[in-house]
Structure 1
Amino acid sequence: MDNDQHYDHLKEELISSERIFDGKVIKVDHSRVKLPNGAEADREIVYHKGAVCLIAVQDHQMLFVRQYRVSTEEFLLEIPAGKIEEGEAPIETARKELREEVGGTAGELKKIQSFYVSPGFSNEYVHLYEAADVSFKPQELDDDEFLDIVKIDLDQLRVELESGAFKDAKTIVAVQHVLATHNL
């Protein structure tokens, strides 16, 4: 990809910024920017430490978790995931979340992709890993986590994807990766 310097004509210049929320998981700033055409605009920016998510396939089945999300007021079917804690490397978070959410220990974790979740207003950056040689024990859920493990046959993934069973971006990216790498 071209160096960012070739796109300076698109850059917004920060004029001012005020922290309007400083929470445990996110921070929110209200910022004023100067647009490339000289006009000014407001931006609300959500800052997040980042997260990991995991593809875990065993015995021709992909593992998911079903949990209630207050933000969407729905029970969502997602791949295991979690936020990166201060000072924690993404791969360590991946190992921890695999163990906590599905009771898995991976012989190998391979980084597949990293991506912004919603760059229009947030800097949240998610790291997608694929777990190999996974062995299972009971879940080690956090005190505030309530979720079920769901296993879906790989041959059923495309049907579930096309039916709209998966509604969050990280899970859709992961399912499409599995479909492509398993030639399904």
Structure 2
Amino acid sequence: MRQDEVEIIEREICYQGFYRLERLRLRHRLFAGGMGPPIVREVIEKGDVAAVLLYDPLRDEVVMIEQFRIGARDDARGPWLLEIVAGLIEAGETPAQVARREALEEAGCTVLDLLPISSFYTSPAKTSQRTHLFLGRVDSANAGGIHGLADEGEDIRVVRLPAAEALLLAQQGKTDSAWPLLALFWFAGQREAVRARWSLAGEAPPASA
């Protein structure tokens, strides 16, 4: 199906804040042929996101972050989730620029190189948002501390982990946010190739954990 096979009949903005909630009345073409009857759908519009798993290939460590998430407020383990650096893409920015900016703001890390992992709809049943996912090379030697922008209410703790431990947490279900899971599962299959690509000439990486 093509985009022109969807007819927007009516559009209503129900809420406008940090996010925008829209109610759409529409019709779309059916697989069996012809246009279907009008249906109503609500969508949350909040802009596209860049997210990056930070990795030091020489130390074989990942740099992740821990922060409060309102959606996990009733979780028995608490609403502080182990995540990766991420941020909304503003007008005029590229996903790569945002990945680098957010790495510095949220984790105090300078990205030395970026590898694209994937670009995908975050939750297409309720939002048009796309996530642009990266792996970023960093020096994790001094990673740590509390970061984030105070005027945005951010309180972000940097977590430095051996790569093997981070992968184990994901496999055990202890990392339960989508972006880090996708990044870590991709990384699990690409880890050795990435280390070989990013290892400095004449400097062998330490043995894997």
Fold match (TM-score > 0.5): yes
Judge which range, 64-73 or 32-41, deviates more: 32-41
Alignment of 1:43-82 (within 5 A): 43-58=41-56, 59-73=59-73, 74-82=79-87
Contact 2:114 2:137 in 1 (8 A): yes
- Secondary structure at the aligned position of 2:189 is classed as helix
Report the CA distance between 1:87 and its aligned residue.
Answer: 2.4
Q: Could you say what secondary structure the match of 2:43 adopts?
A: strand
CA drift of 1:117 comes to 0.6
CA displacement at 1:35 relative to structure 2? 4.1
Three-state SS of the structure 2 residue aligned to 1:156 is helix
Once the two structures are superposed, what CA deviation does each residue of 1:97-139 show, in whole Å capped at 9, x if it has no partner?
Answer: 0001111112212222111110011011111122124365776
Q: Is the 8 A contact 1:49 1:86 kept in 2?
A: no
Selected match of 1:113 from 93, 118, 127: 118
**Structure 1 partner of 2:7:** 13
- Please say which structure displays the higher CA radius of gyration: 2
CA distance in 2: counterparts of 1:158 and 1:42, whole angstroms: 41
Shift of 1:38: 2.5
Superposition map of 1:21-40 within 5 A: 21-24=15-18, 26-36=19-29, 38-40=36-38
Kindly state the Cα deviation for residue 159 of structure 1 after the two structures are TM-superposed.
2.3
In structure 1, list runs of 5 or more residues that go unmatched: 1-6
The alignment of Structure 1 onto Structure 2 pairs a total of residues equal to: 177
Higher fraction of strand? 1
The root-mean-square deviation of aligned C-alpha atoms, in Å, is 2.3
**Under a length normalisation based on structure 2, what TM-score does the superposition of the two structures give?**
0.76
Q: Write the distance in 2 (CA, Å) between the matches of 1:139 and 1:81.
A: 16
Residue number in structure 2 paired with 1:176: 185
* TM-score normalised per structure 1: 0.85
Deviation of 1:60 after TM superposition, in Å, equals 1.2
CA deviation map 1:29-60 (0-9, x unaligned): 10111243532211001112211111111211
